[in-house]
Amino acid sequence: MNPKEKIRILISKFPILTKDEVTLIVEKTVVKEFKKCEILLKEGQIPKNCYMVVEGCIREYLLKDGNEKSIGFYTERETLTPPSKDGTPSKYYLECAEDCVLTISGQVFEEELRLLMPRLDDVFQNIAIGKLNQSKEEWSQFISSSPEKRYLNLCKSKPDLFSRVPHHQIASYLGMKPQSLSRIRKRLLDHKK
């Protein structure tokens, strides 16, 4: 299946959009392929693009005391809008953790779509509110969970992530050292036996 058809299927899942609106969005959408380890955004750059993952995985991280701290993984069907406020330079990096096929949009794309479909403001607002509520729920769950519970939650929400990215990046995302992640995995595996 070609990327544009995958986008059509993904966008069609928003019941708020009509068939004609889906067709128009798909026609206007820019799709690009990226190689594993390709950097989409660096610390200090001003974010201009938003992405939707059609295929692959993007890792979001920051540098703290020279060490990479993973703060997000985005896989198929997920959208990513890099945090930016009034052209503020990014504190984060976006890197392709795998070969990726992504949609790319920016302010010009959104303005063009809004001119063609004024009601898209409501659609974008609904999507943004949904993502904000989801992020708040995930953050609340994360800070109130033990390291083992964080690991189990990630296994449940993104089970394939462990076969897609290095475990030290996952450990960083879970707020632990790689050795701690290995111990948790071993203990749970031993417990299953």
For the stretch 98-138, pLDDT in tens is 999 999 988 888 888 888 888 777 777 777 788 788 888 88
Which contiguous run of DSSP H or E holds residue 71? strand 67-75
Domain boundaries of the chain, sorted by first residue: 3-119
CA neighbor of 95 nearest in space, from 113, 71, 114: 71
CB 89 within 8 A of CB 45: yes
> Model pTM?
0.86
For the stretch 50-105, pLDDT in tens is 899 999 999 999 999 989 999 999 999 888 887 665 688 999 999 999 999 999 98
The pLDDT assigned to 191 comes to: 80
User: What is the CATH class of 3-119?
Assistant: mainly beta
